[in-house]
Amino acid sequence: MPSMLPNSTSNDKLTNGKKGRIPTPWAVRSQRLRQRFLPPLAFAGLAGLVLWMWHHDIPAPHTIGEVEAIRSIMTAGASGLLTEPTEGQRWQVLDKIEANQVLARLDDPLLSQQLVTQQAELARIKLEVEAATAKLSFDFSNQQRDHLHEKIRLAWQREQRRVTALQTQVQLAVDRILEQRLDAAADRAENLFRQSTPQLRAATELESLQARLACDEVAARIAANEKTLAEQKRQITQAEAGYDDYPPLSLPEVAPLLAPLQAAITTQASRMDEVRRQIDGLVIRAPFAGEVAAIHAWPGQRVKLGDPIVTIASHERRYIVTYVRADQSLNPAPADRVRVRRRHSLLHTEETTIEQVGSQFEPIPPQHLRDSRLPEWGILVRIALPQQLAVRAGELVELTFPTN
């Protein structure tokens, strides 16, 4: 029969109290740590954050400003058809452009027809000058024939040279249009030659050479006509000097007969200036360097005078503009200090000065409105742009004015 008394091993466990302690769970230990140390740590952290915010003193902005964005809509200088670019690649949005770079070319057949009409008008005036000269020669008496003949010769020579000079100018205008067309054709032929297969290189090379020779021939003719025109102008000046220095006629019939012809020649000269400006308007160039922001017309499309062709945007940044409303209780003045920072950037701020303040209230643009549905008015303020502030043209920035 087994004994009911405890054995020696169980007695040893009961007498040793340390070995019989129950361990504390880790969840209870972590809870005790949070209760003891988390409140003072949170208090110290929040106190440090308050001190940091107090030190940096980040106030709310008074208003929104906009970095100046320079944009230019290039319009057609004449009515005509947009031609394909000579380099064979059309413009795309965000393409980089240089100042004075060709943006588009126009082909105006009506201008060519106008030049033909101009040539016919000059031929008619030339005949009228000859007819007036013949009429003058028959009106003068025999005793004044030598004197009047010399005067008529000088007058005829002067007007004849003016008409000849105008004809040369018309021919120069025709050749310049032809040179533009031939130059574009030569560029297309050269591009086709470079892109053609070896089997077609002979034909394309011949076509390219023929186009370039035709263009060079017109260019040489233009150069020769420019020299001829300069010589004709010199002769006109010489003829006018001889005519002005010649003794006046005693008979008053010369001036009334020449007056209509002189008026007609002056009118044709004004028309030639107008045609020359129209020729210059056939080529549209970029006024400044930048990038293509929008394309309004494509090659092959017919446009009218003043139609938009392309919009270019400049990378240049000059100043910041903003509007101060009447309910803001601000009194901006030139040379006042202003703090500028990018939107949603709380740390990086720059100080600058006010350059100019408007004299009257103006409608505020939509991008500056607090609510796009409610119109507002404000005073326009121009602020110097800090060069170290990395902003883009057209970007909105936050402005803080000094408070009294």
List of long-range contacts for 340-345, beta carbons under 8 Å, 24+ apart: 340/65, 340/383, 340/386, 340/389, 340/397, 340/398, 340/399, 341/61, 341/397, 341/398, 341/400, 342/389, 342/390, 342/391, 342/395, 342/397, 342/398, 343/64, 343/396, 343/397, 343/398
Which range scores top for mean pLDDT: 195-199, 269-273, 366-370?
366-370
pLDDT at 219 over 80: yes
At 111 the pLDDT is 64
**Which of these ranges, 101-115, 169-183, 242-256, 297-311, has the smallest mean pLDDT?**
242-256
At 56 the pLDDT is 56
Tell me if the pTM is above 0.85.
no
pLDDT at 63 over 60: yes
At 224 the pLDDT is 86
pLDDT in tens, 163-174: 888 888 888 788
At 404 the pLDDT is 58
At 58 the pLDDT is 54
pLDDT in tens, 31-54: 777 778 888 888 888 888 877 766
pLDDT in tens, 367-389: 888 888 889 999 999 999 888 88
What integer is the mean pLDDT of 126-143? 69
pLDDT in tens, 99-124: 888 887 777 666 666 677 777 777 77
At 381 the pLDDT is 92
- AA identity, residue 232: Q
At 3 the pLDDT is 43
At 255 the pLDDT is 66
What integer is the mean pLDDT of 232-247? 72
Angstrom CA distances, 93 to 73, 85, 311, 312, stand at: 14, 16, 9, 9
